[in-house]
Amino acid sequence: MSEATKKRGELIVLSGPSGAGKSTVIAELLSSRPDIHFSVSFTTRQPRVGEENGVNYNFVSREEFERMIAADELLEYAEYVGNYYGTSLKVIREQLDRGVDVLLDIEVQGAAKVKEKCPEAVTIFLIPPSVEELSRRLHGRHTDGEDAIAQRLAQAREECRECHRYDYLVVNDTVVSAAHQLQSILEAERCRTPKQLHLVESFLHDQNG
Ligand code: ADP
Ligand code: 5GP
């Protein structure tokens, strides 16, 4: 295959209110698509019980995060409920160049930055079936106090206002059906004509001279 037609990885952006189930649905998706590279973000927030450095996030100090911003090491970053979150430019670029699909779990400001810089990115917004269910999930996760939950619910309303900017909207009713819808989206995206033109190359040349 020529350099021009060499497959580049797909950049996939998943956003949605905190507690919608992004991490859960991503885990389900990756169990059937282990070839997708999940981008481990950098954050200044404290690890939750069960979270591992380098697996869920790269946990760094505010000073280190600000150094990364100044050194232009981030594809995007945002401040969310008092903490910085950001995506490493180097890792994403390396994976995409190798033809590996990369999945980002990021909030709406960061997603808008990514779409601006990489218009070909596929953006998906995940919502829970209702606000009541979102509140139930945030409480059921047992990771945030009442204040943090109230902040996240308020933030959820703001974030949902931005959903029209996304290519796709998926309701996380059951984890399996939401992950299945994500897989269907990725499959359809892979079949887009501009990404498949190399398949018709041989038809366009007259084989009989
Ligand atoms: P996010 O990554 O969007 O903040 P999580 O994946 O941490 O959300 O999910 C929040 C909580 O909701 C977790 O306790 C998770 O087990 C639960 N959850 C996720 N998806 C579903 C679902 N489809 N039905 C019921 N509970 C869910
Ligand atoms: P949480 O604290 O619940 O893990 O994440 C809070 C929010 O930060 C979520 O909406 C999540 O998608 C978002 N987030 C996680 N990593 C990044 C990142 O690298 N950049 C941006 N902009 N948002 C992120």
Dump pLDDT digits (tens) for 156-178. 999 999 999 999 999 999 999 99
Report the nearest-CA residue for atom 27 of ligand 1: 21
The residue whose C-alpha atom lies closest to atom 26 belonging to ligand 1 is 137
Task: Please determine, for residue 182, whether its predicted confidence score (pLDDT) is greater than 60.
Answer: yes
Please give the Cα distance from 84 to 143 (Å, whole number).
18
Is residue 180 pLDDT above 70, yes or no?
A: yes
Which pLDDT tens digit goes with each residue over 125-144?
999 999 999 999 999 988 88
Q: Is the CB of 95 under 6 A from ligand 1?
A: no
**């790269």: which residue's tokens?**
58
Q: Is any atom of ligand 1 closer than 6 Å to the C-beta of 39?
A: no
Number of alpha carbons in the 13 Å side-chain half-sphere of residue 131? 10
Helix (H, G, I), strand (E, B) or coil at 1: coil
Confidence (pLDDT) at 6 = 61
Residue 199: both structure tokens together: 């398949």
Model confidence at 2: pLDDT above 70: no
**Residue 29's pLDDT is what?**
98
Which residues on adjacent β-strands are paired with residue 103? Answer: 12, 38
For 47-94, the pLDDT digits (tens) are 988 899 999 999 999 999 999 999 999 999 999 989 999 999 999 999
pLDDT at residue number 1: 46
Site to substitute for ligand 1 among 13, 24, 80, 133, most atoms within 8 A of C-beta: 24
Place 3 in a pLDDT band, splitting at 50, 70 and 90. Answer: very low
CB 13 within 8 A of CB 124: yes
- Beta carbon of 130 within 6 Å of any ligand 1 atom: no
Strands (DSSP E) contained in the chain are: 11-15, 37-38, 42-43, 58-59, 74-80, 83-88, 102-105, 122-127, 168-171
Q: Which ligand is nearest to the CA of 170?
A: 1
DSSP states along 102-167: EEEE--HHHHHHHHHH-TT-EEEEEE-S-HHHHHHHHHHHT-S-HHHHHHHHHHHHHHHTTGGGSS
Query: Tens of pLDDT along 186-206?
Result: 999 999 998 889 899 888 887
With a pLDDT cut of 90, the percent of the chain lying above it is 83
Query: What interhelical angle do 175-190 and 22-32 show, nearest 10?
Result: 60
Nearest to 13 by CA among 90, 128, 92: 92
Predicted model pTM = 0.93
| Helix, strand or coil, per DSSP, at residue 181 | helix
